Amino acid sequence: MRRAVFLDRDGTINVDKGYVYRPEDLELLPGSAEGIRILNEAGFLVIVITNQAGIARGYYTEKDVQVFHEHLQNVLNAEGAHIDAFYYCPHHPEGLPPYNVECECRKPKPGLILRAQADWDIDLHSSWFVGDKSTDLAAAKAAGCMAILIGSDQYCFRAIKSVEGPVMVSTVLNAANLIINSK
């Protein structure tokens, strides 16, 4: 079985500008590319797990998300890093049909993590989830992964209190170094 680091997207890898889907709006957070490269070199699968409620709300399409992910991959490749797979949830209970459903893939539920586990033969107990919201931490806990919270603001302090056990760091690079040094 393989080890993975699951990464949330907006607010973890790139700046969360609210419903980010256009390639020209991609702005990597400091340390993201370097942290991902370090994880790649250490042999971890790096998999993005992201809620994309903008699809359900009609703000953009699944194709838009795929184009954004291709662009993100190209930007990371230019920095010597890569994402092994992207998994996204297009649903939201208050969205438009056919996306207005209660699903198992929307974080805080672990459905996307479990799908990745099956697709990539991942050992969840030796894997990590790095995200910036309490829903990321809850999904990690539900799947049996170790969790790291990205951020330093008051929202993150509230999130860390809501789910026991995560470590808090300021960047994906700091998370990667913590993961590599915890072997």
Confirm or deny that 84 is annotated as ligand binding: no
Rg (alpha carbons) of the chain, rounded to whole number: 15
Please tell me whether 73 is known to bind a ligand.
Answer: no
User: Does residue 10 have an active-site annotation?
Assistant: yes
The response to whether 156 counts as a known ligand-binding position is: no
- Residue 8 bears catalytic tag: yes
According to the annotation, is 119 in a ligand binding site? no
Q: Does the annotation list 18 as a binding residue? A: yes
Asked if 57 contacts 16 with a C-beta cutoff of 8 angstroms, the reply is no
DSSP per-residue string spanning 95-150: S-TTS-S--SSSTTS-HHHHHHHHHHTB-GGG-EEEESSHHHHHHHHHHT-EEEEE
Q: Which of 8, 119, 136, 153 is catalytic?
A: 8
Q: Would you please indicate which residues are annotated as catalytic (active-site) residues?
A: 8, 10
Q: What residue numbers does the annotated binding site for Zn(2+) cover?
A: 89, 91, 103, 105
Q: What residue numbers does the annotated binding site cover?
A: 8-10, 16-19, 50-53, 89, 91, 103, 105-107, 132-133
Q: What residue numbers does the annotated binding site for substrate cover?
A: 8-10, 16-19, 50-53, 106-107, 133
